[in-house]
Amino acid sequence: MIEGSLETTNLMLGIMAAVAVLEALVLIGIAVGGFLMYRRVMQLVNDLEARQIAPLRAQVDAILGDVKAVTARVSQQTERVDHAISGTMGRVDETAERVKTTVREKVSYATGVVRGLRAAIVSFLHGDHRPEPPATAAGRL
């Protein structure tokens, strides 16, 4: 009976060994299949990047270059406009001051002429009569 038991045990061990070998072969096949699938996916990703992403990135880089150039130009023009406005405002202030001074001089001259004419008219109408100086507060008491 021991011999029957050993044969059964050996048969079972053989079957288990064969199953282990088959499992190892299946695992190796899955690993090889996974590696081949990984290689194909990476090749597809690289092709997709070369065909789609690289040209798109080149276009985006060109657009960014144009945006930088336009921004620099706008900044330069803004500085020029600001400088022109500052210069113009300075000239307007200077011109306004000149006009104010000129008008003040002309008005002072005209006021002097009118006062002189008034004094002459008053003197002519009143003869030698001199107008008395205005009374002060101390003179009234």
Domain spans, the chain: 2-123
Query: What pLDDT, on the 0 to 100 scale, is given for residue 74?
Result: 93
DSSP per residue over the chain, as a string?
-HHHHHHHHHHHHHHHHHHHHHHHHHHHHHHHHHHHHHHHHHHHHHHHIIIIIHHHHHHHHHHHHHHHHHHHHHHHHHHHHHHHHHHHHHHHHHHHHHHHHHHHHHHHHHHHHHHHHHHHHHHHHHTTPPPPPPPPHHHH-
Query: What pLDDT, on the 0 to 100 scale, is given for residue 39?
Result: 96
pLDDT tens-digit map of 43-81: 999 998 888 888 888 889 999 999 999 999 999 999 999
pTM metric for this prediction: 0.41
Query: What pLDDT, on the 0 to 100 scale, is given for residue 3?
Result: 61
Query: What pLDDT, on the 0 to 100 scale, is given for residue 22?
Result: 97
Mean pLDDT of 4-8: 81
Task: Indicate the pLDDT class of residue 24, thresholds 50, 70 and 90.
Answer: very high
